[in-house]
Chain A
Amino acid sequence: MFRSTAVKILAGAALLVIVLGVLRYKPWQRRDQPMEAARASLNVGFLPVTCHLTCPVTDFATRTSATTRFESQRFTDFPTIVESIKGGRLEATFMIAPLAMKLREQGVPVKILYLGHRDGSTIMVRSDLPAKDLRDLRGRVFALPSKYSNQNLVLRKLMEDQGVKPDEINFVEMPPPDMPGALASRAIDAYFVGEPHAAKAELDRSGRVLYHAKDIWPQFISCVLVVTENLIREQPEVVRDLVRGIAESGEWAESHRLDAAKVAAPYFRQDESVVRYVLTQPPDRVSYRMLEPTDAEMEQIHRMALKAGILERPIDMKDLIDRSFIPPHIRAAEISVN
C-alpha cells in the first residue's frame, strides 16, 4: 500500500516537471528557425530608460538584417547587470559612466566604446515648492538613482557652484521607478534621474522641472556602451557592427522621434505616450547624436568621481576608452515602423 502510493506520487512529480518543462521551453518552436542559427547573435543589456533607447532600436533594426542580430536584454537594475558581466554571462551593455570606471578600477576588463545618448536627465522638484535653485532645497530630501550615477557627480558640482554644502541636502538612493510616486506622496522633495522617470511626475503634475541636464552641463552624459575586452578580442567584427548599429539607430531616432517612441515602448513595456513626451517635449530633452566620447569630458567625470570618493584611485583612461570601432560616416538606419 505504502510503496505503491509512493511510486504514484513520484511518478506524478516527475510528470509535472516534464509537462511544465515542455510548456516552458516549447521545443517545437526551435526547429522552424534554421536561419537564426546561421547568423551571429549578441545579447546587449539595457534598462527601460530613454538613455538606453538606441539599444532596443538596434534590436528592432537587426531583426531581419544580414549582419549580426543584436538582441536587447532588459534588466531591472544596474547591480544585476554588473553581476552578469562579472559572471561572464553578459558581454555588452549600457551602463552609467562612473560605474564603468568603478568596474575598471576593480579589475573587470571592460571598455567604453561609445555613448548611449546626450542629455535626457532631469531634476524634478515638488510642484508645490517655490524652489528656484538648489539653495532653496537646503534641508530637503533629494533622491538619486545611485551614487555611481553621473547625476550624483553633476549635482555635487552644481551644489558647489551655488555654494550649497554636501550635508545641507539630505540625499537618499532610490530605484528610479519609485521616484515619481515618492514625490507625489511627498516622501521626497526633489530628484535627479534619467527619463522617463522624471517626465512621469511632470505628466502627473506632482512635480515640475527644476533643471534639464542640458541646462547644467550641456551635452550631459549619463550612460555609455560598455563591452568586455574578451568580446573585442574574439569577435571584433561583431563589436564593429554593434557600434555602427547603435550609431545609425541614434541618427534615425534623432529624426524619427515619434516612430522611435513607437518602436521602444514595447521593449520598455512602458506607455508609449510617456516615451513620446520625453522625446518631443522639448525635442532637445534627449539627444542621440555626437555620441563619440571626448577625452576632456570623460576625464572630467573621472576627476569628479575621484573627488566624490566613488573611485579610490585614478584609472588609466586610455585603457578604458576605445574609439576605434566608431564608423567614420553615420547615416540613419533604415527602419520601417508598422
Chain B
Amino acid sequence: MKWKAIVLPIVVAAALLAVWAGVWATGAFHESAFPSPLAVARGFGEEMRSGRLLNDSITSLFRVVCGFLLAVGVGVPGGLWLGQVLAARLAFLPIINFFRNLSPLAWMPFAILWFGVGDAASIFLIFLSVFFPIVLSTMAAVANIPAVYFRVAEDYGLHGRERLTQVTLPAIMPQVITTLRVTAGLAWLVVVAAEMIAGRDGLGFAVMDSRNGLRTDLLVTAMIAIGLIGIVIDRVLVQLTKIPSVRWGYDR
C-alpha cells in the first residue's frame, strides 16, 4: 500500500513527460512555441546555478506567507464575530460578497499606485484574494454550530471567553483548517498575477520575465517550480488535520 503511493505518481509523471517529449518530437510546434524537456532541463540547471530560482522561490514564499497569514489573522477573528452577531452578518455580508468577486488583476493598478512595485503590492494582492473566502467560510462554520452545543455549555456554566475557547473554536476548527488548505492553494495560485508587477524577483515575475525575454524554456522552469512548491504547501497544511483536538472533524 505504502509503495503504491510513491510509485504510481512517479509512473504518471513519467508518462506525462513521455507525452511531452513525444509531442515535441513530432515537430508540430516550433521550438520557441513548445520547448523540449531537454531545453527545460538545461534552463532549470541554468536557473539553479545562477541562484535565481532559489531566490525567486524564497521571495514568492515570503510574499504568499505574509499575505496569507495577514488574511488569516484578520479573517478568522472577523469571521468569528460575524458568525456570532446576526446584525453584523446582515450588515457586512453583501459587501463581503461584493469584494469577493473582484479578481486581484482588477486591483493591480491600485496596488502599484498605493504600494509601488515590490513586496507590499504583491502581499496586498495575495491578501485580497484570500481574505474574503476565509471570512465567509469561518462565518459559515460558526453559524452552523448545532445549538445543542451552546445549551450544554450553558448547563456547564461556560460563558464568554471560556465558551469561545472550549466550545466555539473546537467546533469550527476542522472546517477552518479545510478552508486554510483551500485558501493557501488559492494564495499560491494568484502568485503569478500578484507578481506580474513585482519589479525584479519572484516566481510570478520569472514567468512574466521569461515571456518578455522570449524564453519559453525558462517559463516552463518557473511553472514547474510553482507546481512543486504548491504540493509542498498542501502537504504541510495537511499536518494541521492531524492535531488530536481537531481530528474528530475528519473521522468518518
User: Which residues of chain A have a CB within 8 Å of any CB of chain B?
Assistant: 1-3, 5, 9, 13, 16-17, 20-21, 23-24, 47-48, 73-76, 79-80, 83-84, 86-87, 89, 177-178, 180-181, 184-185, 196-197, 200, 204, 206, 268-271, 274
Is B215 an interface position by the 8 A CB rule? Answer: yes
CB-CB under 8 A for A200 and B112, given A5-B245, A9-B240: no
CB-CB under 8 A for A76 and B59, given A17-B65, A184-B33: no
Does B214 contact A271, Cβ atoms closer than 8 Å?
yes
Is B30 an interface position by the 8 A CB rule? Answer: yes
Which label, helix, strand, loop or mixed, suits the secondary structure of the B interface? helix
Does B112 contact A73, Cβ atoms closer than 8 Å?
no
Is B109 an interface position by the 8 A CB rule? Answer: yes
A263 to chain B, nearest CB (A): 15
Count of chain A to chain B residue pairs whose CB atoms are closer than 8 Å in the complex? 93
User: Which of B33, B65, B114 has a CB less than 8 Å from the CB of A181?
Assistant: B33
Q: Chain B: which residue is nearest A88 at the CB level? A: B116
Which label, helix, strand, loop or mixed, suits the secondary structure of the A interface? helix
CB-CB under 8 A for A2 and B211, given A20-B61, A73-B199, A87-B113: no
Does B65 contact A16, Cβ atoms closer than 8 Å?
yes
Q: Which residues of B contact A79 (CB under 8 A)?
A: 109
User: Which of B30, B65, B196, B212 has a CB less than 8 Å from the CB of A184?
Assistant: B30
Q: Chain A: which residue is nearest B197 at the CB level? A: A80
Q: Which residues of A contact B87 (CB under 8 A)?
A: none
Give Cα distance in the complex from A79 to B209, angstroms: 16
Does A76 contact B30, Cβ atoms closer than 8 Å?
no
Does B113 contact A177, Cβ atoms closer than 8 Å?
no
Give Cα distance in the complex from A331 to B123, angstroms: 45
Is B95 an interface position by the 8 A CB rule? Answer: no
User: Which of A20, A75, A178, A180 has a CB less than 8 Å from the CB of B58?
Assistant: A20
Is B165 an interface position by the 8 A CB rule? Answer: yes
Q: Which residues of A contact B208 (CB under 8 A)?
A: 76
Does B215 contact A269, Cβ atoms closer than 8 Å?
yes
19 A-B contact pairs sorted by A residue (CB < 8 Å): A2-B170, A16-B65, A17-B65, A17-B66, A17-B69, A47-B212, A74-B200, A79-B109, A80-B117, A84-B112, A84-B116, A87-B112, A87-B113, A177-B211, A180-B214, A181-B32, A204-B32, A269-B209, A270-B215
B residues contacting the other copy or chain, number (CB 8 A): 38
A145 to chain B, nearest CB (A): 12
Give Cα distance in the complex from A181 to B33, angstroms: 7
Q: Chain B: which residue is nearest A205 at the CB level? A: B30
CB-CB under 8 A for A87 and B214, given A2-B169, A20-B62: no
Q: Which residues of A contact B119 (CB under 8 A)?
A: 24
Is B243 an interface position by the 8 A CB rule? Answer: yes
Q: Which residues of A contact B69 (CB under 8 A)?
A: 13, 17
CB-CB under 8 A for A271 and B215, given A13-B69, A80-B197: yes
Of residues 21 through 39 on chain B, the ones whose CB sits less than 8 Å from some CB of chain A are 30, 32-33
Give Cα distance in the complex from A271 to B217, angstroms: 12
Contact with A along B202-238 (1 / 0, CB 8 A): 0000001111111100000000000000000000000
Q: Which residues of B contact A75 (CB under 8 A)?
A: 117, 199
Q: Which residues of A contact B169 (CB under 8 A)?
A: 2
Q: Which residues of A contact B66 (CB under 8 A)?
A: 17
Is B244 an interface position by the 8 A CB rule? Answer: yes
Does B212 contact A177, Cβ atoms closer than 8 Å?
yes
User: Which of A84, A87, A180 has a CB less than 8 Å from the CB of B32?
Assistant: A180
Give Cα distance in the complex from A13 to B66, angstroms: 10
B209 to chain A, nearest CB (A): 6
Give Cα distance in the complex from A76 to B62, angstroms: 22
A195 to chain B, nearest CB (A): 12
Q: Which residues of B contact A47 (CB under 8 A)?
A: 212
B123 to chain A, nearest CB (A): 11
